[in-house]
Amino acid sequence: GLDKSALIVDGRSIRDRQIAEARFVTPHVMAVSSSTVVPGDIGIPCVTDYVAGGGALGGLVTALTEAPTDVVVVVACDMPFVTGAFLHWLASRLGGAGSGMAGAVMADVVMPSDGAGSHPLCAAYHTRAAVPLGDAVRSGVRRVQDALSRLTVLTVGPEDYATFDPDGRLLLNVNTPRDYH
């Protein structure tokens, strides 16, 4: 029932932390919200979900459609420890024809997984994923994980991103008061 992005972690809101880290990767940082009301001036453009009631999947489709770049890094608003270096690494793993990125692979999504499962809301997406994900949300799918079967997904595990996660909390989600504490 709270705006989790406004929670304070180590003296800064999760939102402010994430914006600073995202700016390490790109000047094209935006927020996507299910509400037309965003608390305070967050210093970046905020776009309202294209699909009212579309959940996280609707927000993802909005981000992919609005993005000015082919590669879009998505981060859920409740992940306080994601770093710009990690986000840059995820984006660099997403490739294709003409990407020019060393080590990149042809995929629609590069998504980390850990002991808690996959993290489709902390992943790099190619904008070509907007159409099949949009079709999924229009057909009633609401969970991002359920729509991923329509895409080519490269899953990266803890062994792949260990250098970005020395304390094991990189992908921590703040979903409960206990998680927050």
Q: What pLDDT does 98 receive? A: 40
Closest CA to 125 of 42, 59, 77, 79: 59
pTM of the predicted protein model = 0.90
pLDDT in tens, 41-51: 778 888 888 88
Q: What pLDDT does 103 receive? A: 53
pLDDT in tens, 81-105: 999 999 999 999 986 434 445 555 5
Is residue 95 within 8 Å of residue 106, measured between CB atoms? yes
Q: What pLDDT does 34 receive? A: 81
Q: Is 128 exposed, middle or buried (0-12, 13-18, 19+ CB in 10 A)?
A: middle
* Rounded Cα distance, 175 and 40, in Å: 22
Q: What pLDDT does 160 receive? A: 96
Where the chain has pLDDT below 50, the residues are 96-100
Q: What pLDDT does 96 receive? A: 45
* Rounded Cα distance, 88 and 65, in Å: 20
Q: Which residues are paired to 122 by β-bridges?
A: 75
